[in-house]
A and B are shown apart, each in its own frame.
Chain A
Amino acid sequence: MLKGLHRLGQLTLAAFAKLGRAHLFLLQALAASWELVPRFPLLIRQMYVVGVLSILLIALSGLFVGMVLGLQGYNVLSDFGAEESLGVMVAASLVRELGPVVTALLFSGRAGSALTAEIGLMKATEQLSGMEMMAVDPVRYVIVPRLYAGILSMPLLAGLFTYIGIYGGYFVGVGLLGVDEGSFWSQMQATIDFREDILNSVIKSLVFGIIVTWIAVFEGYDAVPTAEGVSRATTRSVVYSAFAVLGSDFILTALMFGD
């Protein structure tokens, strides 16, 4: 009993210590943001690695999610004779929720895990120590470009996901199931609001971008520098990202649409 309590206390303290380290790490990285100016090519390179290389996954997933939404939406709406509203349903679901959330989850699996593994391995092979010994701060050289590349890539990828998803819904609804094309687009245009829907969607994906990339780079930087340590850090990166994205999505949705 006492042993269990002792262990619980240890775990709690360790969790808070890690949370503290993660916040100090983020502050350190943000304080070094000006380093992006002389290292702009590094940012571009990282945007290619985390952003451009994720495009295929995001585009294909967006297409399938949109097609499923089109099919399911049609089945439900046609019961009420409201299949003309399919465009609104597909667009609202994608813009408000699925675009930012599913992109963030896919992004953490595709790019976040890779970032964690890369940084963890750099630590395990003493590359980060080597940089410190060459008087180059690894936070500035390695972390800052990756952090900003993730933050900037996420809204662009979420936009792409949503865009392709809407066309997926259009293809199934209008192309295969015979929903009227004019109604599909015009109802969507009339209902989806720029500030309420699109701007909030961009804010959501930006917040998710910060959360997912922060977790990914921190887990790599904080990894135990062994093969097992890096593998555990990579798993934690994806699991924590999923929890953090879904949890913060609820809070953001409540703040944005909760009135």
Chain B
Amino acid sequence: MCQDPQNSIICIQGLTFSRGQRRIFDQVSLTIRRGSVTAIMGPSGTGKTTLLKLIAGQLKPDAGSIKVLDQEVSTLSHRALYELRKSIGMLFQTGALLTDLCVFDNVAFPLREHTRLPESMIRTLVLMKLEAVGLRGAQHLMPAELSGGMARRVALARAIALDPLMILYDEPFTGQDPISMGVLVRLIRTLNDTLGLTSVIVSHDVQETASISDYIYVLSQGKVVGQGTPEELENTPSPWVEQFLHGLPDGPSPFHYPAPSYAEDLLGC
């Protein structure tokens, strides 16, 4: 059963998912509380982005249940899934801005597609969203003219254009300079609190993510190896969590890729 079903917006139970021979998730269960900022952290290649795609219904699980807003995502029809996605904003690692549209039209895109609002109203809404991310002045620029940090902020403005109930962030801080990173960190928390959103951040930037998270799940090798508030995780005895949070080169997640013995490899032909 889901922990605290009244307050949860996403409830994942016994999720199992494989790609080819490789098992990405093995009986993973987690709950995302309404109104919270929840981080899902783990080393690269643990399937964090895959988890977001499973939550958004872009991939189907092999077994287990993924409930978003009380709806079982994997069994939804195409139409119902698209209806559900209108309540979910997603920020992609690359921004995923439409390269043939300017900043203004990118943010206006979901509004034009899903509403019949007059153009004057769309303009007002787009300018409000761009103002929230500090890029109202960049409305006429094309995506190719934006820096990486700006592109992500435009994508964030687009993600909140339809006033979603929650936003999924896929590695929002990767490759950002300290200033852009600081801006994004503050924006995610501020938007979550002022707009009453629920945020799920998938990241391996420990300090930045922990600084704005209410709850953290640590994934490794297809399982949840640790969970709790940032303070609880700091004091957890788990060697997995310890290695990940402090960036230790060797530990339960080994430095060396599995290989035959070094001496054997060097001497044997």
Contact = CB atoms under 8 A, between A and B. Distances in A.
Contacts of B155: 130
Contacts of A134: 85, 109-110, 113, 158, 162
Contact of B96 (A130, A135, A136, A141): A130
Given A135-B114, A136-B110, A126 B96 contact: yes
Nearest to A124: B94
Contact of A125 (B86, B88, B96, B114): B96
B56 interface: yes
Interface residues of A, number: 14
B235 to A, nearest CB: 37
Interface in A97-131: 122, 125-127, 129-131
A45 to B, nearest CB: 9
A129 B82 CA distance: 12
A91 B226 CA distance: 77
A88 to B, nearest CB: 46
B240 interface: no
Contacts of B98: 127, 130-131
Contacts of A135: 82-83, 85-86, 110, 113-114
A133 B99 contact: no
A84 B96 CA distance: 62
A126 B92 CA distance: 8
A132 B86 CA distance: 10
A137 interface: yes
B233 interface: no
Interface string B179-195: 00000000000000000
Contacts of A141: 113
A127 B85 contact: no
B127 interface: no
Contacts of B56: 133
Interface in B84-98: 85-86, 88-90, 92-94, 96-98
A12 B113 CA distance: 41
B7 interface: no
Interface residues of B, number: 23
A95 B122 CA distance: 50
B58 interface: yes
A133 B162 CA distance: 12
The residue among B58, B90, B93 with the most chain A CB atoms within 10 A of its own CB is B90
Interface in B28-74: 56, 58
A134 B88 CA distance: 8
A127 B99 contact: yes
The residue among A122, A134, A136 with the most chain B CB atoms within 10 A of its own CB is A134
A139 to B, nearest CB: 11
A132 B96 contact: no
A126 B83 contact: no
A114 to B, nearest CB: 13
Contacts of A136: 109-110, 113
A71 B101 CA distance: 49
A45 B188 CA distance: 37
Contact of B58 (A122, A125, A127, A132): A132
B145 to A, nearest CB: 16
B127 to A, nearest CB: 19
Contacts of B94: 125-126
B203 to A, nearest CB: 17
Given A132-B58, A133-B56, A134-B85, A125 B99 contact: yes
B128 to A, nearest CB: 18
Contact of B88 (A122, A131, A133): A133
Given A127-B96, A127-B98, A133 B90 contact: yes
A141 B96 CA distance: 15
Contacts of A125: 94, 96, 99
Interface in A130-176: 130-137, 141
A130 B56 CA distance: 11
Interface string B109-135: 110011000000000000000000000
A141 B82 CA distance: 14
Nearest to A134: B110
Contact of A130 (B88, B90, B113): B90
A137 B92 CA distance: 17
Given A126-B93, A134-B113, 8 more contacts: A122-B99, A125-B94, A127-B99, A130-B90, A130-B92, A130-B96, A130-B97, A135-B82
23 contacts: A122-B99, A125-B94, A126-B92, A126-B93, A126-B96, A127-B98, A129-B96, A130-B90, A130-B97, A130-B98, A130-B155, A131-B98, A133-B58, A133-B85, A133-B90, A133-B92, A134-B85, A134-B113, A134-B158, A135-B83, A135-B85, A135-B114, A136-B113
